[in-house]
Structure 1
Amino acid sequence: MSELLKELPAVALRGITILPGMIAHFDISREKSIKAIETCMMEDNQIYLVTQRDMEEEDPDVNGLYKIGVIASIRQLIKLKDDVVRVLVEGKEKAELAYLNQDKGYLEAAVVPVEEKETEVSPEVEEAMLRAVQEAMIEYCKVNPKSGKELARQADGLNHLNTLMDLLGNNLPIFYEQKQKLLDASSLEERYGVLMNILLSETNILEIKNELQMKVKEQVDKNQKEYILREQMKVIRKELGEDNTESDSQRYLKQTEELNAPLQIKNRIRKEIERFKNIAGNASEGSVARGYIETLLALPWEKASKDNTDLDNAEFILNEDHYGLEKVKERVLEFLAVRNMTKKGESPILCLIGPPGTGKTSIARSVARALDKKYVRICLGGVRDEAEIRGHRRTYVGAMPGRIVEGIRQAGVKNPLILLDEIDKMSSDYKGDPSSAMLEVLDSEQNQRFMDHYVDLPVDLSEALFIATANDIGNIPRPLMDRMELIEVQSYTSNEKLHIAKEHLIGKQKEKNGLDADQISFSDRALMSLIEGYTKEAGVRNLERRIGELCRKAAREIYQKHKNAVKITETALEKYLGKRIFTTDMANTEDEIGIVRGLAWTSVGGDTLEIEVNIMPGKGEFLLTGKLGDVMKESAQAGISYIRSVSEQYQIENNFFKEHDIHIHIPEGAVPKDGPSAGITMAAAMLSAIIQKPVKADVAMTGEITLRGRVLPVGGLKEKLLAAKNAGIKTVCVPADNEKDVSEISQEIKRGLDIHFVSRMQDVLEIAFADGKEA
C-alpha cells in the first residue's frame, strides 16, 4: 500500500463534490486552500479535492471530511478581488484519504487511488443496465426540458454504461451529498443503483413540481381573467345605468327600513349592506355577504301569528283528529287556558314518549291546527353534527343556519309550533354533541337569546311551542329530559284500535284509493280479527297498511269485475290477506309443575312469557337458555339464592342443590329477552319444580325479586295487563309499589282481571300455587 500512497496538497470543498472526468470551477478564499493551490501549481499540478461534511466548519480535520475524494489537475486559475481565487479543475481518479498533515500551512493529504471493484457482470446484464439508465434519463429530460435538452445532446451516441453514468453524475443538478454517494460507490452495480435512485427520485419530484406550478398558473390566469371581465362588466353596467350592486344594496336598505325588528338587528344589517357594497367586485365574498343579508331580512324578528283562543274549538279539533290520548289533549287545553288568563304565559316544552305508530307526530299537527299556529317539523333522527342545530360559522364554504333558525324562517313567524321528531335518535361524533346544543333550545330561561353560529345574533325562541317525540326514554340524555315535560303515549287496546280504524283509518284509505263511502264496508268482527290476527303492534301503522291493502283489492274488484260494492267480513279476510299471521299464546288449561306465565313489555306492546323449569339429577349445575340478557340471568341467580335461603321452610334437603341440576328455559330462543320483570316469575317456577307443587294455569305475574324475597316495581303495566287479558289470564300479581300506576289504567283493560298487589315472595306463592298455600 506504501507504493500506492501519494502525498498531495489538498483542498476541502464546501457544498460541492467533484467526480472523475468532471470539469468544474469553484471559488476559494481560505488561506490554507490558496496556499495548497499555489504549491500544486509549482509541483506536478496534481491536487486532492475532498468534500467536507459540514459546510459551516472553517477548519475541518480528518473526521470532518469524507473518506473518498478525487485527484484532479488544475486547468485555469483566476484571481478575483477581495483575495478570492477562482479555480477550474478536471477530476482524474478517485482516491481514499489515509491521513491529513496540517503542519505546512496548508492541507497535505496522504491518499490511496481507488480502483472500481471488478465484478463479473455479463454483457446481457450490462446492456440491461445501460437501457434502464437511458430510459430513466429520457423520462428525466421530459420533465426537465430546460437542462434536459443539453443533457440529451451530450448523451447522444453514448453506448457504454460507465461513460454514460459519468456524464449523468457530472451534469445532473443534484446536491453534493448525492454526488458524494456516487463517488463512494465501490462497484459498477452499486454506482448503477445509486444513479438510478437519484434519477427516479428527481423525476418524481420534478413531475410534482410541474403539476403544482401548472395548477397555480391556471388559478392565477383564471382569477386575472375573472377580474378583467368583472371590471369590464362594471364599466358596461355604469354606461348603461344598470349597476346591479347599487340596486341590490338599495333594495336591501329599503327592506331593512320596512323590517319589524329591534334597532340592534337593523344596525347590524345596515353594516353588512355597507360591507356588501365594498366587496361587490369579489364574486365569492359577495355571494356570502348577499346570502347572510337575505337570511337576516327573512327572519321574523318581531312578527308573530295570533293564536286561536277558543277552547271549545281546540277541544273539538283534538277529539276529531284523534281517539284517546286524553293526557296530551288535557295538557294542551290547560296551556291554552293559562295563555288566555295571563295574556302571555310560557310556552311549554312537551315530549310525547311511546311506541311507534301511536300518533305522536300527528297529534302535534292537530295541536297546530287547533291553535292556528304555523307548523314546522324538524326530524332529528340520525343528526350527529352540532352545526345541524346551532348552524355553521360563516367562515366555512356552504355555511347555513341551523335547523331551528331555518324552521323559524320557513314558518315566517316567531311563534310557530316546532315538532322535534325522534329526539331520542340523535347521536354524537367528533363534530360535537347535538343533544348538548338542544339544551339551550329547550331551556325557557336561555332560549330567549338563542345564538345561532351563522346568524350570529340572538334569536328569541321563547314564544315557539316545542313538541318533541321519542320512542325510548332511556336514549334521551338526562339534562335534556329534565327540560321537557314528559307525556306517555301508551299502546292502544284492541277496542281503541277498532274505534281508530272506524273513525279515521278507513275513511283516509278510502279517499287515498279512490273509493266512495258506500263502495267498501267493514264489519266490526272483521276489523277485530284484522287487529288481533294480522297485526301485532302498539300503534296503528300496520293496521292502516292492512286496511289500505284491503281497499286496493276492493278497488281492483270493483273496476275489473264491475262490482258495485265490496263487504269485508271476518271470513273474507283469509281470501284477501291469506292465513292468520299472529295467534295469541293462550293460558294453559291445566295447572302444571315448574311452568309459570310471566308478563313482558316489548316495543310493539305487551306479551306473555312462559317460563319452564326442569330439575334433573346432576352435579348442581344451573342452566339458563332462551337467549337471555344479563339482567334476566342476574334475576334468576337472585331467585335461586332466595330459594336456598328459605330451603328449610320448604323441607328441601341440604344436599339437594349439590345433587341436582336446575334448567330454566324461556321458549322462542331466537328472540333476545332482557329486563328485571321476570324475577318473581323465575323464582316461582324454580320453587314449584323443586318442591313439586303445581302452579295455577290462569295466573300471570311481573316484578323484580331481591335476595331477601322483596318484590320491586316494574314498568309497562298497561301493555302487560293488556297482554294478560288477551291471553285469557284471570289472576295477575303486580308489585305493591305499582298500585298507583294501575289506578291510572282504564277500566276497559282491568275489567275481568283479578289484580293482586304483592310486596314479598310469600304473597306471590300463596296466590300462584294450586292448593292456595305457599308450602
Structure 2
Amino acid sequence: MGVQPEGRRDQEESAVEIPEELPILPLRGVVVYPLTVVPLAVGQPRSIRLVDDTVLGKKLVGLVASKRPELEEPMPEDCYTIGTLALIQRLLRMPDGTMRILVMGLERIRIMEYTATQPYLKARVERHPETMTPGPELEALRRKTAELFARMVELVPGLPDQLGAMAMAVEDPKQLAYAVATYLRMSLQEAQEILELDDVAAKLHKLIALLTREIEVLELGRKIQSEAQAQVEKMQREFFLRQQLEAIRRELGEADEHQMEIEEFRRKIEEAGMPPEARREALRELDRMAKLPPASAEYGVIRTYLDWMVSLPWNKTTPDNLDIAHARQVLEEDHYGLQDVKERILEYLAVRKLKQERASQLEELETRDYIRRIREGAILCFVGPPGVGKTSLGQSIARAMGRKFTRIALGGIRDEAEIRGFRRTYVGAMPGRIIQALRRVESRNPVFMLDEVDKIGADWRGDPSSALLEVLDPEQNREFRDHYLDVPFDLSQVLFICTANQLDTIPAPLRDRMEIIFIPGYTETEKFHIAMGYLIPRQLRENGLMPGEITFTEAAVRRIIREYTREAGVRNLERAIGRVCRK
C-alpha cells in the first residue's frame, strides 16, 4: 500500500476520462480509497477475465466493496453504490492461475446503473467528488490526525517508521484521510463509511475517533506484553540462577535439596522392607512428588504420607525370650496370685518354643490350607473389677517375653477413624491409633494393650468397636488396611491384650474374637500378701522413707483391709497405706 504523490495525482485526475460503460470489480473485505496505491489478489474466473480485458484498453476499473464478503461472485444488489475509480498499474500472473495487480485509486464514483452482469459486472458511473472547506478547523483536524497516526505507527511493529513522517508531510487533508484510512484497522462498514462521507472534515473526525480507540488498544496490548515479558524475564532469570546454583553445587559435590530428598525417600523405601503392594504405592507417590514443585500443597501431603510409610516397622521385630523359667520368675515378681493369667502366658511361650524347635519336622508334615493361615499372635481379654492389676499385668507380660509394650485407652472414643485412620482427602489426615502406636514402639510384634474396651462409645461418626473386629480377628489382621495408608499392614504377630470391667457392654461379635480370662477380686489373704510384698515397699519409696523407719505388723495390715477398705482390688488399700506412711 502507498500514497500517491500530489503532483502526479493532479495530472492523473485532469487526464482521466471515464468511459461510458466501466468494468466493476467487487472487492471482498477491503475498501480501496482514492489517492492510494493498493495491491490486490484476483482469483475468480470472471474477475480474471475482467482484468485481462481491462489491461488491453484504458486500464480503468471501478472498485466497489461487497456487502457480503463471504459471497464468491457478488451480484449488483450485493455491492455498495459508492466506490473508487482506479487504474491498473501492474499485473503479475501466479503459477496457480491467480493474479496479483497493483491499482492506484483516482477518485470517488457513484454507480448509476448496472449495464451487464456477464461475463462480468459493468455499469454507468459518475464522479462523486468530496467537499472541503479550508480553514483553521480543517488544519487542526489534519494535524491531529497526522499526530495520532504517527503515534499508532510507533505502536504497530509491522509498519515502517517512515509512514509517520510521510503523514506529517502531507498537506492535503483529503489525501491524508485516505492514506490513514488505508493503514488503520477497522471493520468493513467503518471503512465504507469513511469513503461515503462527503465532507473531508467529517472523514477526519471519524478517523480521529478510530485512531484514538486503536491507540488505546495498542497501548494496553503493549502494557500487557511488557508485563508478560517482565514475568518471562524474571522466570528466565530465576531459571538461569537455579542452573548456576546447581552447577556450583555439582562442582562442590553437593546435590539439589529437592533431588536429595527424593533420593533419600527412595533409599528409605528400599530399606523399609515393605510388602510388594505397599512398596508399589510408595514408589508411585514418590514419582508424583518428584514432578511437583516443593512449594505446592500437594507436595507436603505426599511428603507426610511417605514419612509415615518409611517409618513404620514393616519388618522390625523383637526376638521372644522363650525361657519359661525366666518368664515364670518375672510374672511372680510383679504380681501375686493371678494363676490363670500366668499359666496362659506360659502356655503361649511354651507353644512358640516347641514350634521353633520342631520347625523342620513341622514343615515336612505341613498340610496346605489355602483358607486358614497359621496364627502367630494371641488375643486375650482380661475381665475383672477395677484395681486387680489388669493394666500392669500387660507390662509384666511384655517384660517376661522380652517384647516392647504399648497401650492405648479406648474409653470414651466414638469416632471409627480413631481406629482405622482418616482418608488422605481430608486436611490434616493421619493414621489411626493402631498404626500410630506401632510407629512409636518401632516393632510389629509388641504386646499391645487395648485398655477399657468395654467403654467404647458409638454415634453418627461410626462405631469404633466394629472397626476393632478386623484388628482383633486372627484371620483378618494379617492384612489390616488403615484408611490413611490404604495398604495392608500385618498385625498377626502382635499379642493383643484387652481389658474390661464387664462383658455385657462389649458387642457379641467382638467378644467372640477374644479369649476371655476372668480375674476375680482378691481375698483378704491375697490382699495381705500383696500389701506386704508390693504395696508397702512402693509407698515407702514414694514417701521418701528408709527401711526400718516404719513397720507394718500383720494385725495392722489386716485391720486396714477389713475396716478401712472394702473393694475387689487394692487401690484403696494402697492409698490407706500411703496415708499411714505420711503421718
Q: TM-score range by the shorter chain?
A: 0.5 to 0.7
Match of 1:461 among 491, 514, 523: 491
2:352 counterpart residue number: 339
Residue aligning to 2:384:
354
Query: Where does the alignment leave 5 or more consecutive residues of structure 1 unmatched?
Result: 1-224, 554-775
CA contact (8 A) 1:441 1:447 kept: yes
Partner of 1:258: 271
Alignment of 1:486-497 (within 5 A): 486-497=516-527
Q: Distance in 2 between matches of 1:347 and 1:494?
A: 36
Aligned equivalents of 2:240, 2:267: Cα separation in 1: 23
The structural deviation recorded for 1:236 is 5.8
Shift of 1:420: 0.4
The change in CA–CA distance for 1:500 and 1:254 in structure 2 (over 3 A counts) is same
Residues 453-500 of structure 1, C-alpha deviation per residue, up to 9 Å, x if partnerless? Answer: 011100000000000000111110000000001011100111111100
Correspondence for 1:308 among 321, 328, 332? 321
Structure 2 equivalent of residue 547 of structure 1: 577
| In the alignment, structure 1 residue 296 sits paired with structure 2 residue 326 | no
Tell me the SS of whatever aligns to 1:377: strand
Match of 1:273 among 267, 270, 286: 286
The answer to whether the Cα contact below 8 Å between 2:278 and 2:488 also exists between their aligned partners in 1 is no
Decide whether the 8 Å contact of 1:491 with 1:538 is kept in 2: yes
Whether the 8 Å contact between 2:444 and 2:494 is mirrored in structure 1 is yes
CA distance in 2, matches of 1:458, 1:309: 29
Alignment of 1:52-91 (within 5 A): none
State the SS of the aligned residue for 1:462.
Answer: coil
Q: How does 1:135-284 map to 2 (within 5 A)?
A: 239=245, 241=249, 243-284=256-297
Q: Secondary structure at the match of 1:521?
A: coil
TM-score, normalised via structure 2 length? 0.54
Shift of 1:237: 9.4
SS at match of 1:517: coil
Report 1:625-636 matches (<5 A): none
Q: After superposition, what is the alpha-carbon deviation per residue over 1:556-606, rounded to whole angstroms, capped at 9, x for unaligned?
A: xxxxxxxxxxxxxxxxxxxxxxxxxxxxxxxxxxxxxxxxxxxxxxxxxxx
1:470 and 2:470 correspond: no
**Secondary structure in 1 matching 2:406:** strand
Task: Tell me, in whole angstroms, the C-alpha distance in 1 between the residues paired with 2:375 and 2:333.
Answer: 26
Give the aligned length.
326
Kindly indicate whether the alpha-carbon contact (under 8 Å) linking 2:378 and 2:494 is maintained by their aligned counterparts in 1.
no
CA offsets, 1:49-95, max 9 Å, x none? xxxxxxxxxxxxxxxxxxxxxxxxxxxxxxxxxxxxxxxxxxxxxxx
Equivalent residue, structure 2, for 1:446 = 476
Between Structure 1 and Structure 2, whose CA radius of gyration is higher?
Answer: 2
Q: Which residue of 2 aligns with 1:167?
A: none
1:506 is matched by which residue type in structure 2?
A: I
Q: Which amino acid aligns with 1:292?
A: Y
2: CA distance between counterparts of 1:393 and 1:494?
A: 52
Tell me the residue number matched to 2:463.
433
* Residue number in structure 1 paired with 2:156: none
- Distance of aligned partners of 1:238 and 1:305 in 2 relative to their CA distance in 1, 3 Å threshold: farther
Q: Distance in 1 between matches of 2:395 and 2:240?
A: 51
Matched to 2:287, the amino acid is E
Q: CA 1:287–1:523 in 2, change beyond 3 Å: closer, same or farther?
A: same
Deviation at 1:292?
0.5
Classify 1:245/1:540 alpha carbon distance in 2 versus 1 (closer, same or farther; 3 Å): same
Deviation at 1:267, TM superposition (A): 2.5
Structure 1 counterpart of 2:378, one-letter code = P
Residue 408 of structure 1, CA deviation: 1.3
Cα-to-partner distance string for 1:156-185 (whole Å, 9 max, x where unaligned): xxxxxxxxxxxxxxxxxxxxxxxxxxxxxx
Structure 1 residues 244 and 516, CA gap change in structure 2 (3 angstroms):
same
1:319 paired with 2:349, answer no
Paired residue secondary structure (1:378): strand
* Equivalent residue, structure 2, for 1:129: none
Displacement of 1:418 after TM fit? Answer: 0.2
* 8 Å contact from structure 2 (residues 410, 456) kept in 1: yes
> Which residue identity lines up with residue 442 of structure 2 in the other structure?
G
Please tell me whether the aligned partners of residues 294 and 300 of structure 2 are also in contact (alpha carbons under 8 angstroms).
no
Tell me the residue number matched to 2:343: 330
Letter in 2 for 1:310: D
For residues 671-682 of structure 1, what are the structure 2 equivalents within 5 Å? Answer: none
Q: Aligned-pair distance for 1:251?
A: 0.9
- Separation of aligned partners in 1, 2:512 and 2:330: 30
SS class of match (2:517): strand
Q: 2:437 — aligned with what?
A: 407
Which residue of the partner structure matches residue 418 of structure 1?
Answer: 448
The 8 Å contact of residues 449 and 461 in structure 1, kept in 2 or not, is answered as: yes
CA distance in 2 between partners of 1:233 and 1:520 (Å)? 79
C-alpha change, 1:237 and 1:551, in structure 2 (3 Å) is: farther
Q: Distance in 1 between matches of 2:531 and 2:244?
A: 68
Distance 1:263 1:476 in 2: 36
Distance in 2, Cα, partners of 1:369 & 1:279:
47
Deviation at 1:232, TM superposition (A): 6.2
> Secondary structure of 1:292's match?
helix
* Residues 333 and 511 of structure 1: CA distance in aligned 2, closer, same or farther (over 3 Å): same
Query: Hey, what does 2:196 align to over in structure 1?
Result: none
Tell me which amino acid in the other structure corresponds to 2:412. G
Secondary structure at the aligned position of 1:383 is classed as coil
1:349–1:237 CA distance, 2 compared to 1 (3 A): farther
In structure 2, what is the equivalent of residue 524 of structure 1?
A: 554
Whether the aligned pair in 2 keeps the contact of 1:237 and 1:243 (CA below 8 Å) is no
* Alpha-carbon separation, structure 1, partners of 2:433 and 2:422: 11
**How far off is 1:548 after superposition?**
1.8
Aligned residue number for residue 545 of structure 2: 515
2: CA distance between counterparts of 1:436 and 1:538? 31
Following the alignment from structure 2 to structure 1, what is the Cα–Cα distance between the partners of residues 459 and 468?
15
2:263 and 2:524 map into 1 onto residues whose CA distance is: 64
- For the residue of structure 1 that corresponds to 2:445, the secondary structure is coil
- Deviation of 1:320 (Å): 0.7
3-state DSSP of counterpart to 1:418: strand
Alpha-carbon distance in 1 for matches of 2:580, 2:549? 12
| Residue type at the aligned position of 1:373 | R
CA RMSD, 1 decimal: 2.2
Q: Percent identical across equivalent pairs? A: 48
Whole-angstrom distance in 1 between the partners of 2:244 and 2:388 = 63
Q: Whole-Å Cα distance in 2 between the matches of residues 266 and 345 of structure 1?
A: 25
Matches within 5 A, 1:31-70: none
TM-score by length of 1: 0.41
1:519 shift after superposition: 1.8
Aligned equivalent of 2:414, options 362, 370, 384: 384
Task: Name the CA distance, whole Å, in 1 between partners of 2:379 and 2:242.
Answer: 57
Q: 1:321 to 1:278 in 2, by over 3 A?
A: same
Structure with bigger RCO (C-alpha 8 Å, 6+ apart): 2
Contact 2:419 2:468 in 1 (8 A): yes
Distance in 1 (alpha carbons) for counterparts of 2:502 and 2:239: 60
> Is the Cα–Cα contact under 8 Å of residues 352 and 468 in structure 1 kept in the other structure?
yes
Q: For residues 268 and 319 of structure 2, what CA distance do their matches in structure 1 show?
A: 24
CA contact (8 A) 2:375 2:492 kept: no
User: Match of 1:369?
Assistant: 399
What's the secondary structure of 1:430's corresponding residue?
coil
1:237-292: CA deviation from partner (whole Å, max 9, x where unpaired): 97264732211111111112222222332232222111112223444222211110
Cα offset, 1:406, TM superposition: 1.1
CA distance in 2, matches of 1:232, 1:483: 62
Larger mean CA deviation between 438-447 and 246-255 belongs to 246-255
Q: Choose 362-371 or 245-254, whichever is displaced more.
A: 245-254
